Every structure is written in structure tokens, then in C-alpha cells.
Structure 1
Amino acid sequence: MREATKNHFQQQHYKLGAEDETDFGCRFEARPIHLGGSRKNTIAYVKLHGQNEETKFNIKCHHFGPSNSSSHGQSPEINEIYCYKLLELIHVGPQVQFIIPKRFTGSKLSLYIVTRWEDDFIPLSGNTEEAVGVDVLVQILLLGTFLFIDDLHSKNCGYWKDTKEVAIVDFMPKAFFTFTNVKRAFFYNDLSVYREISHSDTECDEAARMEVARKCLKKWDLLSQIDLAIEQITPEMDQMKQQEIGFKGFNSSSEKLDQYISTIKQNIIKLIGT
């Protein structure tokens, strides 16, 4: 992971006009135990050509991918890659990059997800100064339900300190399907944040949650951003195809992504129309 990360940022360094590596820096630290995410994650501090300060990044393998000690693991899920980009575009997630290693050790399964570390992220678990607005919890529930992402616990979710807007910095993809009853899926979800909503504000009834959902879908311009996110991950999809990196459960990344996008849109359009 660290070798692939260093190579990735070295390429960016030279693209910025560097002639050598005298002003290039890339150092690593283990991810602090008290933070969310896997203990296998790594923190990287990177300085590229023309930059005066280091930028901090979190580096992780895709969910259920091979670890440093084993080449065995599951293939990446294209919807995990896609969702990181979509969350970035709607300003819920941090800036994201993807690293596809050129060399493998016994497995062609690895894909690394690089997110810029944002110090203004306040996790739900770390908020001690003020009550978290119930609309933040409703937005987490909305995105978890309709993007089919899980592991949205109090260390992975919260809000951005300056804007108080919802933030999701890590998650796990899960199976997707068309909802028979979109309201029931939204109101009675098994995500842990649903229980927090139920106990945090007795006035946040179903009508109030629908109002928050409609307002946020409009603010995010979600249906348009869904299409833009596809365009922005196309280079990674093409590169993975060239390197014969398979995707879990489907013959091609585009086949699975098409079905995933279609499912998201159908469910959201149903919700808006209710």
C-alpha cells in the first residue's frame, strides 16, 4: 500500500513540472486507534512540487480487500468507488483519489482509496460541545438508505465544523435493490443512525424527515451529480479493465454500475414523487 501510494504521488509531483524530487515528500504514520475506519488504514503526509506545506491523506484498501499479510480477499465493488466520488461532489465526503497498483503480490484484487484528511470533520462520537442537529442524522439516514452504504457509525459520520453540514468519511457498500415502498425503506431502516434519530428528537416525525429529504436532494442536485460522478471515475474503470481487475458479482464494472445507478435513480424519483 505504501509503495503504491508513494508512486502515485510521485507521478503527480512530476506532472506539476518538477525536474527532480528535491521538494517531494511522502511519509507515513499508522492510523490512530481512536479514529474510525480500519486499523489497516495508513496516514500519508504528502508535499508536491510548488507546495509549501504537507497535505494529510487517509489511505485504505477497498472493503474486504487483501491485507498486507495476505493476498486473499474479495474483489472491489464498483459502487464503493462510485459512492466516494459522489459524496465528494455533493460536499458530504472529502476529496478522493484512487490508486490502482501496477504490481501485485499474488493477487489482482487491490485498489486503494485515498481521501484528503479534513481537520474540520467532527464525528458524532467526538462532538461534546453542542447537540447535533437532527437534520444531520436524517441526511445520513437518507444517503445510507438510497446509496446502499452501511457502517455509518458515529466515528465515520458527523458534520463539517465550519458549515455544520453533514459529513461521511468512511462507509461500507452493501447490496442494492429497488424498493417496493420507498417511504418504509426510509422510515424503518436498520442503520444504527436510525436509532439515534428515534431517540434524539421526538418532534422529528415522518413528515419532518420527508421535508429534510426533499430539501437536501434539491440542495445537492443529486440526480445531476449522479451522472457527473460516472464521468469522473471512468478513467479508473478503464484502467482496471486494462489490468484485468475484476469486480465482485458482475462480468464488468460498467454492467454493475449501470444497474446500481438505475436502482438509485428509480428509488429517489419514487421518493420525490411521494
Structure 2
Amino acid sequence: MSEDNCWKWNEFVEIGNTIHRMRRQVRILQAKYALGIANQLIDNGFIIDLPIKDQQLYETLLLKIAEYLDGNAEAGLDEDLFDITFSPKKSGIQTGFTCDVNNGTQSVCYYIKTHQYGSTEDNIKSIKPPDTKELFVYKILHHIGIGPQAHFIIPSRGTKKTIYIATKDCHLVLLSSLIKNTANNNALLQLDLISRILCLRDCADNTSNCGQVGETPMIVDFRIEKQSQGYAKLDILDKFYEGNSEFHYSGLMEIAIKTTNTVKMDIMNKSLQEWKLLENIERAESEINGLVKRYDGKMKFENDLQRYVQDLKTTVAVLIKS
């Protein structure tokens, strides 16, 4: 990479991160200047040689800059008070970045990544369409208080198979950072229970994808896969009591699942009352169906949500009857 191209890249990123705070005429001039830089970087082959995460950052900032090119995009009433910056995310195989919004007194961070089986650092050709079950799970976890606020961002250009998931920082203490004195046994059992209900993988058994906010369980990442035999779990209560090896727990989770069945039953009943699962299943389903309908023809989805939801209701009914 030449020094000149690196300088132009840094200049482009700086404009992209600050253009929303510029005055109208300055915004137009800076937008034209930044797009000129972008064209030079494309012509020089600089962008295509960037890591995938920086290429995605480039595309995001390019769209943002282009909105101000003709001056029609007006800054919000308080945009001069906000500083918005994007940077590549520090971990994980999926393409993504972080977005920090600062108004001078408060700062909010969003973690933005591609959907499960979206583009990765190693192979952008591995993209598969987003699974509506994944989007549904983000919504229902938030509705029942076990997941962060989530937003789904669909690019206006490019592939019809990429969706970005932005989750608001919830000040999570990762399971990997908890110790016996700070872990809440009830919260850990709730992580186990909801993972079983929703058929989640790489979740409660991955100490970097879940943890606690205070004494509340929290899940920030997971995997969910299509299951040919369906998602209903008629034996879920027995497995919850047994603490079976479905998730291969260790450490604090391994200790938690050895809790007596009487205590587990009490936690399950209180959780079902608190979570209002049937109500929130329908709420999340309606939201995702609305998203799919809104982007019909613009985005491809893997969609067996209807079967998944029906099976979830069957599983919940089993627990309620117990």
C-alpha cells in the first residue's frame, strides 16, 4: 500500500465519520471531495486489497457520504451535538464493525455484524441468505429481557443476501469473567432453559456469547440451525432436570445444572411468568414477518419461521402443563 493511498483512505474515513456534523454547503463540498477520493482508491486497486471488514466499512461510509452529495439530506436538529464514529470490530469471524455515538456527555456503542453465514474475514463467497429464525431470536430475547436491543440494517445496494445486525451495548459481564461470588445461579439456569426452548447453539456453552447484566441473564450471540426433525422438545422438562450433555457445559454452568429439581422447577415457573413467552413469540413473529414483507424482492431469506414458531409454542405448552 502506498503512503498516498493510505493518506487518502484515512481522509475518506474521517470525512465519513464527521460529515453529518458539517454545515450544509461544507457537507456538499466534502461529499464531492470524499467521493473523488473513493474513485481514486477504486481505480488504484486499493479498496479491493483491503481486509473484508474495511471493505464493509468503506461501503457503509460511501452510502452515508452519498446522501449529502446534492444537499437534500438535512442534518437532524441536534446532529451538531453528536459525534458518530465507525471502526472495525475486534473479534469474531463475521464481517462487522462498531459504531460509537457520543453527545458530549453520554456515549452509546452498537456492535454491528453480518447475519449468521454472512460474509466472513476469510471468504466473502460463503454468504448464505439470512435466516428469519435468527432475526426472530434477537427480537424475542430482547422482549423477554435476556437480549440487547437489536436493529436490522439492509443495504440499499449490493447483494440481496446480506443483512447487518446492530446490537446495543448492554454492559454485559461475560460468563468467562464471572466467578462463583459474582455469578447468579438462577440467571445461569435461565440461560440453560431459554437455550433449550429456542434450540440455540454456541450460546450458554460459549462463555463469550452470554453472561449477566447485574443479576439478569443476557445473551448477545448464538447460532440456530435448521433441523429436519423440527424444533419441538416434548422431553424438555426431563432434559432440563437432568442437565444432559446437549450443551457440554463446564465451569459455572456445569455447577449450576446440578441444582436440585425442586429449585429448577421454581425457577422455570417464575421464568415462564416473567417472560410471557406465548405473547412475545407472537410479537416477535409479527415483527419479522413485517420485515420480510417490507423487503420482498429486495432481500432473500431462508424462511421456515412458521414451523419454528409452531414448534416453540408446543414446547412452551409442555412446560406450562408441567
Q: What TM-score do you get using the length of structure 2 for normalisation?
A: 0.69
| Structure 2 residue 229 is matched with structure 1 residue 173 | no
Q: CA deviation at 1:155?
A: 1.3
1:136 is aligned to 187
2:160 is aligned to 108
Spell out the pairing of 1:47-58 with structure 2 (5 A cutoff): 53-58=106-111
Q: CA deviation at 1:92?
A: 0.8
Q: CA deviation at 1:260?
A: 0.8
1:183 is aligned to 237
The one of 30, 35, 60 equivalent to 2:113 is 60
Greater length-normalized contact order (CA 8 Å, ≥ 6 residues apart): 1
What is the alpha-carbon distance in structure 2 between the residues aligned to residue 16 and residue 191 of structure 1?
50
Spell out the pairing of 1:61-80 with structure 2 (5 A cutoff): 61-67=114-120, 70-80=124-134
Letter in 2 for 1:171: F
What is the alpha-carbon distance in structure 2 between the residues aligned to residue 100 and residue 211 of structure 1?
42
Spell out the pairing of 1:12-31 with structure 2 (5 A cutoff): 18=76, 22=80, 25-31=83-89
| Structure 2 residue 166 is matched with structure 1 residue 85 | no
Q: CA deviation at 1:200?
A: 4.4
Query: Deviation per CA, 1:66-99, whole angstroms, max 9, x where unpaired?
Result: 2365243222111100000111111111111001
| Stretch moving more, 170-179 or 79-88 | 170-179
Greater gyration radius: 2
1:271 is aligned to 319
Q: CA deviation at 1:206?
A: 2.6
Measured at CA, do residues 32 and 72 of structure 1 come closer, stay the same or move farther in structure 2, by a change above 3 Å?
A: closer
| Stretch moving more, 208-217 or 80-89 | 208-217
Letter in 1 for 2:216: E
Measured at CA, do residues 2 and 173 of structure 1 come closer, stay the same or move farther in structure 2, by a change above 3 Å?
A: same
The one of 282, 286, 301 equivalent to 1:231 is 286
Q: Is the 8 A contact 2:281 2:309 kept in 1?
A: yes
Q: Is the 8 A contact 2:133 2:224 kept in 1?
A: yes
Measured at CA, do residues 72 and 185 of structure 1 come closer, stay the same or move farther in structure 2, by a change above 3 Å?
A: same
RMSD of aligned C-alpha atoms?
3.2
User: How many residue pairs align between the two structures?
Assistant: 254
Q: What TM-score do you get using the length of structure 1 for normalisation?
A: 0.79
Q: SS state of the match for residue 150, structure 1?
A: coil
Measured at CA, do residues 21 and 272 of structure 1 come closer, stay the same or move farther in structure 2, by a change above 3 Å?
A: closer
The one of 191, 197, 201 equivalent to 1:150 is 201
Q: Is the 8 A contact 1:90 1:222 kept in 2?
A: yes
1:127 is aligned to 178
What is the alpha-carbon distance in structure 2 between the residues aligned to residue 15 and residue 193 of structure 1?
51
What is the alpha-carbon distance in structure 2 between the residues aligned to residue 242 and residue 51 of structure 1?
41
Q: SS state of the match for residue 97, structure 1?
A: strand
Q: CA deviation at 1:20?
A: 10
Query: Deviation per CA, 1:121-158, whole angstroms, max 9, x where unpaired?
Result: 11111124824122111111111111111111111111
Measured at CA, do residues 113 and 39 of structure 1 come closer, stay the same or move farther in structure 2, by a change above 3 Å?
A: closer
Letter in 1 for 2:275: W
| Stretch moving more, 223-232 or 81-90 | 223-232
Letter in 1 for 2:169: W
Query: Deviation per CA, 1:159-218, whole angstroms, max 9, x where unpaired?
Result: 112xx111111111133522242223433251244774443475x123322221111111
| Stretch moving more, 14-23 or 69-78 | 14-23
| Structure 2 residue 90 is matched with structure 1 residue 42 | no
What is the alpha-carbon distance in structure 2 between the residues aligned to residue 3 and residue 63 of structure 1?
21
Letter in 2 for 1:27: T
Identity over aligned pairs, percent = 23
Q: CA deviation at 1:100?
A: 0.9
Q: Is the 8 A contact 1:148 1:173 kept in 2?
A: yes
1:250 is aligned to none
What is the alpha-carbon distance in structure 1 between the residues aligned to residue 268 and residue 180 of structure 2?
26
What is the alpha-carbon distance in structure 1 between the residues aligned to residue 106 and residue 182 of structure 2?
34
What is the alpha-carbon distance in structure 1 between the residues aligned to residue 87 and residue 193 of structure 2?
34
Measured at CA, do residues 16 and 238 of structure 1 come closer, stay the same or move farther in structure 2, by a change above 3 Å?
A: farther
Q: SS state of the match for residue 172, structure 1?
A: coil
Q: Is the 8 A contact 1:144 1:191 kept in 2?
A: no
Q: Is the 8 A contact 1:140 1:193 kept in 2?
A: no
Query: Deviation per CA, 1:246-273, whole angstroms, max 9, x where unpaired?
Result: 31xxxxx3xx111111100101111221
